[in-house]
Chains A and B, each alone.
Chain A
Amino acid sequence: MATSSLELLARSWRQQAMPLHHSLSILRPKVLTEFLSCEVVHSRIHFHRIPYACKKVPCMYQRSVRCSSSAAVETPVTSASAPVNSGGSDPGAPTWRASLDFKWIRENRDAIAQNIQNRNSSADVDLVVQLYDKSISVGHEVEKLRTERNRVANAMKGKLDPGKRQELIEEGKRLKDALTDLEADLSLLSEQLQREGQKIPNMTHPQVAVGSEAAATVHKMVGSKREFDFPVKNHVELGESLELMDFEAAAEVSGTKFYYLKNEGMLLELALVNWALSELVKRGFVPYSTPDLVRSSVIEKCGFQPRGSNTQVYSVEGTDLCLAGTAEILLGGLYMDQILSEKQLPLKLVAFSHCFRTEAGAAGSATRGLYRVHQFSKLEMFVICKPEDSERFHEELISIEEELFSSLGLHFKILDMPTEDLGAPAYRKYDFEAWMPGLDRYGEISSASNCTDYQSRRLSIRYRPTDDIILPTGKKGKAPLQFAHTLNATAVAVPRMIVSILENFQQSDGSILIPKVLQPYMSGRELICRKSN
């Protein structure tokens, strides 16, 4: 079913391993490339599978082999992250393109629909398939009209009698007008397809339980609840009596859910960051200090929704910037639109940043104190790797988190989160919940997600496999670009750590035993105790 132009481009692409947009510029229906986005996969075009076996990863991830031409979409800018010039046709249109494999979506419609249902997502896979099919057929119409118009243009080159010439001129004009209309339709379809396509959440690991928070399964339990032989205080009582934090002044100066840390409270924050950073640098993570402000488009590409009534994201007036809720966004953005070499992977990054969240819609009793706040310091891990390695790195990340929190002496459980709790980007997500005796509950201190290629298709993070492949011609050529997989995991979210430490290590006199691993970072202090006045 591929048209001659598509055959041509496929052949030239295979032979020359040129970026797709170069091939297409020869053929030039720019409009065709727009709707194709990364979708140059027609039955006649064979892309060779990567020679590595993706044993642990379900075969659906091999689809990433094919969507390597995403960069071709917008010419002359080759990035899939480049802005879509919608010409005002659809105000709700996304401002950037994700490299979505629409053909794969159509082929796996049932699994995707089931996944959408399991996740309680509002995405509509049938609408996406419909829009895709329509785009293709309109695209073909456009092709046909172009061919006609070219024929008419060629026909006008020779010697013609005036009557015939006039006929051709009029036909040419009719074709031109029809073409303009169809191209506009195609453009609109393309935007709608992107918008609806972007809503489709990531697929889900087969072992993940279907359901809401209650369906979470306990992956592991570490340690046990401490027995207290005195009445347990919560971190607010402890913190205020030890002069470690101030909520009242913060409420005046900035509002509720803000706080000052002071004295050992502040030193504890720094100690946690210094200690965890040192542990991660030892384990090969590259340390970063990132901006806290980020373009809203980058936030969207990571799978968050900065706009919208119940957004978690603060925006900066008069700019396209938002306050980042996590350094994950800044780290993903760091490698946005990049083509890495296979040798560079895996990339293991750790970043320190201040995180900001509106906590809109977060009701509940734990509104006082450090449990739910608008700003907090966080050390975040981020991994970019090959698809076949992401599950392994997910295990590595939670293993690191387990080591960190155990060495602090905390009792916690590792939960394998269910479908409704994953968030659109995550294929699988483990949450760590530490026992917080003062709040008499387990509270989340960390989260580790494997986003597979969800973020990398939006951020356009790809790599070139090292080994060349054998082309149909028999010659050797570069292997096609692959989308990397991304993962993120919290090393230290400072306020939740402070809650856990204060509440778990409180003594009967209200002082706090500092975890041994942190003592060197607190100038050797072993105890936080009342100030003498």
Chain B
Amino acid sequence: MKGKLDPGKRQELIEEGKRLKDALTDLEADLSLLSEQLQREGQKIPNMTHPQVAVGSEAAATVHKMVGSKREFDFPVKNHVELGESLELMDFEAAAEVSGTKFYYLKNEGMLLELALVNWALSELVKRGFVPYSTPDLVRSSVIEKCGFQPRGSNTQVYSVEGTDLCLAGTAEILLGGLYMDQILSEKQLPLKLVAFSHCFRTEAGAAGSATRGLYRVHQFSKLEMFVICKPEDSERFHEELISIEEELFSSLGLHFKILDMPTEDLGAPAYRKYDFEAWMPGLDRYGEISSASNCTDYQSRRLSIRYRPTDDIILPTGKKGKAPLQFAHTLNATAVAVPRMIVSILENFQQSDGSILIPKVLQPYMSGRELICRKSN
């Protein structure tokens, strides 16, 4: 329409232009909608699965390794609630009044044990090259989604903060993933090995069952979490390294546990492969999960946008040298210490016939040299 035209021709073009514009607006709207639907449906697709992972539900888990053995007791075994209450290490009654069920106070050596576990495990991880972090406990719900969790929805595990876009994080994994959100790292920076201390909050909606009393399933707990960002070709190796670290930590505490290679129905959307550690808890007469280690490959990094530039340039089709394209990093996470489950394990496994608790040797320096937790003299 830019040139000289006679009025009739111009009018034809104007009308054609208008028809095209309207058609375009409609189609663009369609495309936009399609794009949203595509994202929404696409995001639902879970991560691929490691070929060695068993197909099926929890029962299909395979035992990757068994460490230690069940202790023989020559006296009636107590559970951590009986032990903890008689030693004045925890208070559930007052917590139920003040905050509700599945809350608790730790007191006396119970509190000191929490700090000792955190101090000890942190020291072990810093030695192994993990960068220590203290993270926020509140996080935007969008970041939680990018990590592969579902903050909204009726049976959500996630508490939300009124009047904000914030939620209470269920694990520091989210805060650590968020730390490198939207970043372009250099290959040299990898791997990044992080360990974070945070308070974790979970609604435990839909968690029925007998272990509702005590420390086994609670709304709030302290946790030390490991997080690794690495190159794709390194993630399986780091997965093995993480579970090796966890094995060392829990063995040095003297616990008996099994390492399970979790089956497909138990992985959770982000995990390519997941190992769960279950410690023997004689007072509960069962194995209970104390830790979990997941390789999320590029599931989280594609959502959080964590990418790196490989160091070496490549040869372009033109024959020239140029920067290698950006790659998505792989992310992994593993529990170093989930305090309440550790306390359950320690109290129940190291109880003595008189109701006192032998403190694991590695923790004694962090408990001012105490060897035993015993009854208070009144």
Which residues of A are at the interface with B, using a C-beta cutoff of 8 A? 246, 249-250, 252-255, 258-263, 265-267, 269-270, 273-274, 277-278, 286-295, 298, 314-321, 323, 330, 333-337, 352, 354, 356, 374-375, 377, 523
Which of A277, A290, A333, A336 meets B115, CB within 8 Å? A277
A contact residues around B98 at 8 Å (CB): 291, 294-295, 298, 330, 333-334, 336
A contact residues around B163 at 8 Å (CB): 315
Q: Given the complex of chains A and B, what is the CA–CA distance between A262 and B131 in angstroms?
A: 7
Q: Interface size class for chain B?
A: 35 or more
Query: By the criterion CB–CB under 8 Å, are B178 and A252 in contact?
Result: yes
Query: By the criterion CB–CB under 8 Å, are A254 and B162 in contact?
Result: no
Q: Contacts A253-B179, A289-B114, A321-B99 given: A375-B136 contact, CB under 8 Å?
A: yes
Query: By the criterion CB–CB under 8 Å, are B136 and A263 in contact?
Result: no
B contact residues around A356 at 8 Å (CB): 137-138
Which residues of B are at the interface with A, using a C-beta cutoff of 8 A? 91, 94-95, 97-100, 103-108, 110-112, 114-115, 118-119, 122-123, 131-140, 143, 159-166, 168, 175, 178-182, 197, 199, 201, 219-220, 222, 368
9 contacts between A and B (CB under 8 A): A253-B179, A263-B132, A274-B119, A289-B106, A291-B95, A293-B99, A315-B162, A316-B162, A333-B94
A contact residues around B112 at 8 Å (CB): 287
A contact residues around B114 at 8 Å (CB): 289
- Closest residue on chain A to residue B220 by CB atoms: A291
Q: Contacts A246-B179, A252-B182, A274-B115 given: A321-B100 contact, CB under 8 Å?
A: yes
Q: Contacts A295-B100, A352-B111 given: A261-B140 contact, CB under 8 Å?
A: no
A contact residues around B131 at 8 Å (CB): 262-263
Query: By the criterion CB–CB under 8 Å, are A291 and B133 in contact?
Result: no
B contact residues around A274 at 8 Å (CB): 115, 119
Query: By the criterion CB–CB under 8 Å, are A334 and B94 in contact?
Result: yes
B contact residues around A334 at 8 Å (CB): 91, 94, 98, 105
B172 CB to closest chain A CB (Å) equals 10
Query: By the criterion CB–CB under 8 Å, are A270 and B159 in contact?
Result: no
B92 CB to closest chain A CB (Å) equals 11
Q: Contacts A291-B103, A356-B138 given: A316-B160 contact, CB under 8 Å?
A: yes
Query: By the criterion CB–CB under 8 Å, are A292 and B199 in contact?
Result: yes
A-B contact count (CB 8 A): 160
Q: Contacts A266-B132, A274-B119, A333-B97 given: A260-B179 contact, CB under 8 Å?
A: yes
Q: Contacts A262-B133, A316-B168 given: A291-B140 contact, CB under 8 Å?
A: no
B95 CB to closest chain A CB (Å) equals 6
Query: By the criterion CB–CB under 8 Å, are A316 and B161 in contact?
Result: yes
Q: Contacts A260-B133, A263-B131, A354-B199 given: A295-B178 contact, CB under 8 Å?
A: no
B contact residues around A315 at 8 Å (CB): 161-163
Q: Given the complex of chains A and B, what is the CA–CA distance between A249 and B111 in angstroms?
A: 31
**9 smallest beta-carbon distances between A and B, as pairs:** A253-B178, A333-B98, A261-B134, A289-B106, A317-B160, A315-B162, A266-B132, A287-B111, A266-B134
Q: Given the complex of chains A and B, what is the CA–CA distance between A249 and B168 in angstroms?
A: 17
Q: Given the complex of chains A and B, what is the CA–CA distance between A336 and B94 in angstroms?
A: 8
Query: By the criterion CB–CB under 8 Å, are A260 and B132 in contact?
Result: no
- Closest residue on chain B to residue A314 by CB atoms: B161
- Closest residue on chain B to residue A324 by CB atoms: B99
Query: By the criterion CB–CB under 8 Å, are A290 and B199 in contact?
Result: no
A contact residues around B178 at 8 Å (CB): 249, 252-254
- Closest residue on chain A to residue B339 by CB atoms: A289
- Closest residue on chain A to residue B138 by CB atoms: A254
Q: Given the complex of chains A and B, what is the CA–CA distance between A289 and B340 in angstroms?
A: 12
B194 CB to closest chain A CB (Å) equals 9
Query: By the criterion CB–CB under 8 Å, are B199 and A249 in contact?
Result: no
Which of A250, A262, A314 meets B162, CB within 8 Å? A314
